[in-house]
Structure 1
Amino acid sequence: MNCCDYLFNISNELLDNEVIVDSENGRRYTYRELQIAVKKFAKYLMDRGFKKGSTIAIHLYNGSETVIAYLACQYCGIISCIVDPMFKPFELQYYLEDSKSVCLITFMKNDKDIKEIGLDITIMHDTDVDMVCDGIDFEQIEQEPHDVSEDEVSIILYTSGSTSKPKGVMHNVYRCKAHVAIQQEIGYTFKESDRLVCFVPFSHAYGCVDILFDAMEYGACVVMMRSFQPQKLARLIESEGITHLFGVPTHYAQLLRYDSIIPQLKKLKAAFVAAAPLNHTTAIQWGEKTGIYLNEGYGLSETCTLTIFRDSSIAITPGNVGKPTTKVATVEIVDESGNPLGQNEVGEIRVKGPNVMLGYWNKPEETSKKLKDGWFYTGDFAYKNSNDEFILCGRNTEFINVAGIKVSPIDVESVLNQHPFVSESAVISQKDEMYGEVVKAFVVLKPEKTLTERELIKFVSSKLSSFSVPKSITYIEQFPRNNIGKIDKNALSKY
C-alpha cells in the first residue's frame, strides 16, 4: 500500500478528469497528467540520490507543486515532512533539524538565507518541480510505488506547539486509509463531478489528508488556493464550480461579512468546519444566509483528523460536535484512571483504532505520555449528553482553576459571543493571589460598535455563576492565530 494508490488506482474512465487546479498559476492536471508528473519527479528524486526512509521537508504554499512533491516522496518511500510556508529560515531550523531532513523543497529563492542557519542540506525550489514535470523528458519510472509496511513512517506533520516545542506526528497510508473509511462511515463522500477547495494549510492534516485523499478516493477535483481570500474564493466558486468548502470557524465568520458574495456561497453543496469551536451565532447565520448548515467535525493530527461528526444541524449546546465513529475507531470519555464515564460526566476523550498515529517523531517519552495500551489520550475534555453527542469543554491545559472550581473556557466564550456587539472572544486563565486563577477574556467587537468592560461583565454575570465571570476583559482589534486559523491563546497570555 502507498498513499499514491489514491492517484494511481483511479478507474480508466476517470483518468481525464481534473484532479488539481492551481488557482495561483493557472496550472491544471488531470489524473493522467498528475500520474505522469508524480512519476517524473519521483525519478528525479531517486536520480539525485534520495532513498526510501530519508526525509524531505516540503516548504511550499498550497499549489500544484506541493501536491506533486508530496506524492512523489510517497511514491519513492521518502518521508514527507510538510512545514508551514510562513516559516522564515530561522524558524525552519528547528523543523529541519528535528525531522533530520536531507532536502528542503521551498518557494524561497535566496539559498543564502537558508544556508545561514548552518545546516548541511540540499535545497530545491518549486521551479525545480515545474522544470522536471514540464521541461525535461525523463523515462517513465519502471518501479511500482513503494510498498509501505504498517509500522513504517511516511508522513510527518508537526503540531502547533502552543504549550511546548512542536512535535512531529508520524502517519502512513494505513492511517490515511482509516481516515477515508471514517468519512465513508459517516456518509461524507463525494462524486466525481465534485470540486473541493483547499485554502487551509497543506502543512496540516486538514489539507494534505482530509481534503486531498478524500477527493481522490472518488475521482473528484481539488482547487488549490495559496491563502484564504473571501472575494477570490467567491470568484472561484463561480468560475470553477466549487461544490464543497472546508475551513475553520474564523473563515466562515469572515465570509458572512461580505453580503456581496452570498449568492456564490448559496451555490455550494456542503461546507465543513473543524479545528476550533464553532461560534453559535456563526452557525445560525451561515444556515440563514446560505441555505445549508455547516457540517462540524472533531479530530486531531494525532488521530489523522476526523473522529467525531455532526451532520447538517445546529448545535443547541455550545461545543456539541456530534457523535463519534464506531466502526473504524473507538472514542470514549474516561476519568483519570481510564474508566469510561456515563452521560453528563466530564472526562478526557481518548481514541483507539487504525487512524491513531504511530507516535511522535524521535520523542519516545512524549509518545508514552499520550499513547497508552493502544489508546491516544487527546487532552481534550468533554461529556456526553442524553443523545450520546459529545460536548467539548476545553483542553486540560486550558481549564481555569478558580479556587478549586474548574471553569470551561468554551462555556464562557459562548456567553460572551451571545452579546449582539461581540464578534469573537477568547478566554484564558490569569494568576490571582486570592483565587489562584481567575478568568480573563479578550474580545473583538463588531464594526462600529462600542461596549464598556463593565457593560459586558454585567451581561455575562446574568448568565454565568460568579466564578465563571471574567475578572477582566480586554478589547483588541484582532486575534493572533496559528497557521490553521485557530486563536493562539499562548500568544494571548503574553498580552
Structure 2
Amino acid sequence: MQDRIWLTHYPKQVQPTYEYPKQHLAQFLLDSARKYPEKEALFFLGKTVKYKELLDATYRLANGLQSLGVKKGDRVAIMLPNCPQAVIAYYGALLTGAIVVQTNPLYTEREMEHQLNDSGSTFLITLDILGRRAGNVLGKTGIKHTIFTSIKDYLPFPKNLLYPLTLKKDGLTMKVDYSDTKHSFKELLSQSTSSPVLVEVDPEHDLALLQYTGGTTGVSKGVMLTHHNLIANTHQTKAWSYQTKEGEERYLAALPFFHVFGMTVLMNLAMLQAGMIVLLPKFDAEATLKVIQKKKPTVFPGAPTMYIALLHHPSLRQYDLSSINICISGAAPLPGEVQEQFEAITGGKLTEGYGLTETSPVTHANNIWDKRKLGSIGIPFPDTEAKVVQSDTGEELDVGEIGELIVKGPQVMKGYWNAEEETSRTLKDGWLYTGDMAQYDEDGFFYIMDRKKDIIIAGGFNIYPREVEEVLFEHPAVMDAVVAGIPDEYRGETVKAFIVLKDGAQMDEEELDRFCRERLAAFKVPRSYEVRESLPKTLIGKTLRRKVVEEEQNKQQNA
C-alpha cells in the first residue's frame, strides 16, 4: 500500500502530514491558561475550576513534589479516578520532568505491587479511601512518599460536608495517618508556592508516560511513550476533528484518564483546545444523562458499552442530548446499529476508531463528517502508515487478504520498559506489529478480523486471559483452566472460565468467585464458570482457546 490509497478519502480540511511542535507535553495547559485564564477548565459534580486556578494548583503541586525530592526521570504513580486532582497530578508531575505511571484504582494489591515495582515508582498520588489497600503494598515497593487526596476537596458546599457520611454508609474510611512520608494533597498545595515550573525535556527522547498493558504471557508491560508521541497523537486527533473550535468545546470525560484513550482524546486534547472537561469519576448511565442535559458537552469519546447503556436507559427520552456533536468510539468493536441509533438520538456523529497503548493510542479512525464504513476501523491518521502482512515473513498482503496489522508513525512507542527482547519482537524497522489480524478494502479502509493475542475486551477494558488463568490455577481444586471472551450484548465480550477439576475435588462457584475477586480487579473476574471433563488441546498439549469460544458461540446460537 505504498501509494496510501486511503488518502483519496481524506476530507479536504485534513492534510496527510503535519509538523508537530517539539515541546513539553504540559505546554498544552500552560498555553491555554495564558490565553483563556477565566475560562472554565474543569467541572466536577457541581464544582467549577477555571484555567488560571488549574494552572495555579498544578504549579503548586509541581513545587510540592520537588520539595519532596522529585527529580527529572523519577516515576510518579497516579492512582485516581476522573477528578480535578487527576488532572493536577498529571500535569504537575510532568512539569517536574517526572515520568507519569497511570495506575488503575480498581487494581488489587497484587496488581499494584507488580506495577509499582516494575516501573520503579518512588512517589504515589492516590485517594484517601484507597489508603488501606495502598498501605498493604507500599512496604513491598520502592515508594518513598505517598500523597493522599480526598474527593471532597473539590466538591462544592454542601456536598463536601455530606461526602464523609456517604463513605461511612458504604463502609469506607478517609482516615490517613499523615507522617514524613504520607502527605495531604490539600496541605501540600497550600504550603507550596505557585512559582512557574517547567523542567526542560528532549520531547523526542524523554519519556512522559509509562502506560501499562498486558501481553500474551499475561505479564503486564510498561509502554514507554515520549512527550513527542503524545503531542503528535493529540494533534493528529485535533486535525481529524477539524470542526471543533478552540476555547468552545466541552468534553464529557466518562472514559478514565488512567486509560490511554481517555488520556489523549480527553485530557490532552481538551487542554490543547482550551476546552472544558466535564469530569465523571465513574460511568453511570443516569448520572451521565443528567450531566449531558446540564452541562451540554459537545464531544463525547467513549466505549461502545457506554453508548449502549445510554440507549437502553428507560428514561433516555426525557433527556436532551442534542449538544453532542462528536463521539469517537474505541476500545472495542462498535455495533452498526448502536452507531445509527445514537446518531439519531443526538443529531451528532459517532465514529469508530482504533489504536493501542503502544500507539498513544490512535492510529485509525473513520471520517467523522465524510465517507465512513460500518464495521471498519477507518483509515490511518495523518503521518501514519499501515500495512497488512504475513506475521512471520513481513510480506505485504493485498486487498482482502487477512494478516497482521502493522503501523508506523510519530505516535508509536519508544519500546517496552526494561523489556528489550519483547521490544525487538514488536518493533521492527520502525513498524509496530500490533498482534491484531486485519484486512483492508480497495478504498484503504481497514477491518479487524480477530485478535492474535486473544485479548478479551469487556466494557472497554483489556483483559488478558493468561492473567486470569494463572489465578484460577492457584485454586487448590483446579487442575486445568482456560478463559475466553464470550459475546455479550452490553459489554461487547464478557469473561467466562472453563475449568477441569482435580480428581475428587468439588467446586463451589461462589467460593471460587470470592477467590478471584481477592486477586483480580473486578472487571477481570469471570462472570461465569463452566466445569468440563477436559479441554480441547493441540497435539503438543496447548489449549485451543478459539475452539472453546466457537463451541460456546454455537451453544448460544442454538439456545
Interval containing the TM-score (normalised by the shorter chain) = 0.7 to 0.9
Hey, what does 1:490 align to over in structure 2? none
1:201 has 2:256 as partner: yes
Structure 2 residue 29 is the aligned partner of structure 1 residue 7: yes
Amino acid at match of 1:473: Q
Partner of 1:232: 287
TM-score by structure 2 length?
A: 0.70
Q: Does the CA-based 8 Å contact 2:304-2:492 persist in structure 1?
A: no
| Compared CA separation, residues 396 and 88, structure 1 to 2 (3 A) | closer
SS at match of 1:349: strand
Q: In the alignment, which residue of structure 2 is the partner of 1:350?
A: 406
Q: Per-residue displacement from partner, 1:424-453 (whole Å, max 9, x unpaired)?
A: 764999953699856445xxxxxxxxxxxx
Match for residue 276 of structure 1? Answer: 332
Q: Deviations over 1:2-44 (max 9, x none)?
A: 1110011227442211112222xx4422221111111111000
Distance in 1 separating the partners of 2:244 and 2:256 = 21
What is the Cα-based RMSD across aligned positions, in Å?
A: 3.1
Structure 2 residue matching 1:247: 3-state secondary structure = coil
Residues 1:300 and 2:383 aligned together? no
Q: CA deviation at 1:190?
A: 2.7
1:432 corresponds in structure 2 to 536
8 A contact 1:178–1:328 mirrored in 2 = no
| Map of 2:206 onto structure 1 | 152
Task: Determine the C-alpha separation between the residues in 2 that align with 1:182 and 1:141.
Answer: 32
Secondary structure of residue in 2 paired with 1:321: coil
Contact 1:74 1:146 in 2 (8 A): no
> How far 1:261 moved relative to its partner?
2.6
The answer as to whether partners of 2:40 and 2:48 remain within 8 angstroms in 1 is yes
Identity %: 27
Shift of 1:470: 3.8
Who is 1:288 aligned against?
A: 344
1:390 Cα deviation from its structure 2 partner: 0.4
Partners in 2 of 1:48 and 1:434 — Cα distance? 55
Match of 2:395 in 1: 339
Q: 2:308 aligns with which of 235, 253, 256?
A: 253
Counterpart AA for 2:30? F
Against the structure 1 CA distance between its residues 189 and 126, is the aligned structure 2 distance closer, same or farther, given a 3 Å change threshold?
Answer: farther
Matched, 1:171 2:275: no
Structure of higher RCO (CA pairs closer than 8 Å, 6+ residues apart): 2
- Flag the 1:423–1:38 CA change in 2: closer, same or farther, 3 A: closer
Match of 1:124 among 127, 142, 147: 147
Question: Match of 2:556, SS?
Answer: strand
The answer to whether the 8 Å contact 1:107/1:126 transfers is: yes
Q: For each residue in 1:28-61, what CA deviation from the matched residue of structure 2 results, as whole angstroms up to 9, or x when unmatched?
A: 2222111111111100010111211111111111
C-alpha contact (below 8 Å) 2:76/2:121 kept by paired residues: yes
Unaligned runs of 5+ in 1: 400-415, 442-466, 477-495
From the superposition, tell whether residues 231 and 13 of structure 1 become closer, same or farther in structure 2 (CA, over 3 Å): same
Q: How many residues align?
A: 427
Say if 1:20 and 1:426 are closer, same or farther in 2 by CA, change over 3 A: closer
Q: In the TM superposition, what are the counterparts of 1:384-403 in structure 2 within 5 Å? A: 384-398=440-454
Distance 2:537 2:228 in 1: 50
Q: Distance in 2 between matches of 1:106 and 1:206?
A: 21
* C-alpha distance 293-140 of structure 1, shift in aligned 2 (>3 A): closer
Q: With structure 1 as the length reference, what TM-score do the two structures score? A: 0.79
Q: CA deviation at 1:358?
A: 1.0
C-alpha separation in 1, matches of 2:400 and 2:552: 22
Instruction: Tell me: CA distance 1:252–1:3, structure 2 relative to 1, closer, same or farther (3 Å).
Output: same
* Consecutive unaligned residues in structure 2, runs of 5 or more: 1-22, 151-183, 456-486, 499-534
Alignment correspondent of 1:107:
127
Bigger shift: residues 86-95 or 240-249: 86-95
Could you tell me whether the CA contact under 8 Å between 1:8 and 1:35 is conserved in 2? Answer: yes
- Structure 1 CA distance, aligned partners of 2:117 and 2:556? 40
Q: Is the 8 A contact 2:297 2:324 kept in 1?
A: yes
Q: Do the aligned residues in 2 keep the contact of 1:42 with 1:75 (CA within 8 Å)? A: yes
| Structure-1 separation of matches of 2:491 and 2:94 | 40
User: What is the match of residue 424 of structure 2?
Assistant: 368
Q: AA paired with 1:395?
A: R
Distance 1:429 1:392, change over 3 A: farther
Q: Do the aligned residues in 2 keep the contact of 1:197 with 1:246 (CA within 8 Å)?
A: yes
Deviations 1:297-332 (A, max 9, x none): 1011101111111134897653x111112x322122
Of 20, 24, 38, the match for 1:16: 38
